Structure 1
């Protein structure tokens, strides 16, 4: 018995398009995560990058939650584009930037209302459960923005 493997016409073109889309979305996602990181860094006391590199646990928790929330926004912007590459890339960039602004403002307001000293929290060498409040705010705002995209 002989079996022949036959690929549909245009198969490799579709694979190439998919690989290209992955690369472009990864670039946009990485750029947004870097912009998001620097937005958090600029709006919090102290050099956040150094605190994360030093392993300050609260700085790591807050930064990680910011990155997860940015990823949520990008993922749902991609999903909402319905397979249209150009529209998806543009929507991801726009919604990502709006999400960054919304997160920074919302989290700073929450810290003020709750009375958190974010500078001291991020610089602390010991883990504090208060970092979870800030992390939850990042993820929560990320979810709100992400679902608003849909």
Structure 2
């Protein structure tokens, strides 16, 4: 015989799951915003304005930076404790540390390659060097994300 009855605490578990999703989404959004401002702060020029006005190199570099930050945040959440409060705290801490490490590491790679990032991101014309900077963002974001796990 098929039993279609739900577990008595199904509603409670569902509510906790929805609450956890909302809280992790808030932590993720805060970390993405902090990551964006960290990239903006450490990159010459006002990235938000350069992206808004369609500077192709600024768009490439910023997009890669945001995706790399997302790698770090996702792995921080996945690696966090199973207890919701502890999980939120560890996600936030791992995410913040990951953002700092990733931003510093990308700046070192930019220095080592001698790319004039300030001039490049302000250019109206696409520069292949922006792909190198974007690749550095993505590669280092993945490295930091795996280090968290």
| TM-score, normalised via structure 2 length | 0.92
Does the CA contact (< 8 Å) of 1:73 and 1:92 recur in 2?
no
1:1-150 aligned at under 5 Å gives the runs 5-81=4-80, 83-150=82-149
Runs of 4+ deviating beyond 6 Å: none
Match of 2:75, SS state, is helix
Q: CA deviation at 1:36?
A: 0.8
Structure 2: segments with no counterpart, 5+ residues: none
Structure 1: segments with no counterpart, 5+ residues: none
Q: CA deviation at 1:4?
A: 6.4
Q: Deviations over 1:55-106 (max 9, x none)?
A: 1111111111111111111111221225332222111111111111112211
Paired with 1:4 and 1:144, the residues of 2 have a C-alpha distance of: 47
Match of 1:128, SS state, is coil
Superposed CA RMSD = 1.6
Paired with 1:8 and 1:28, the residues of 2 have a C-alpha distance of: 30
Match of 1:45, SS state, is coil
Does the CA contact (< 8 Å) of 1:58 and 1:121 recur in 2?
yes
Across the two proteins, how many residue pairs are aligned to each other?
149
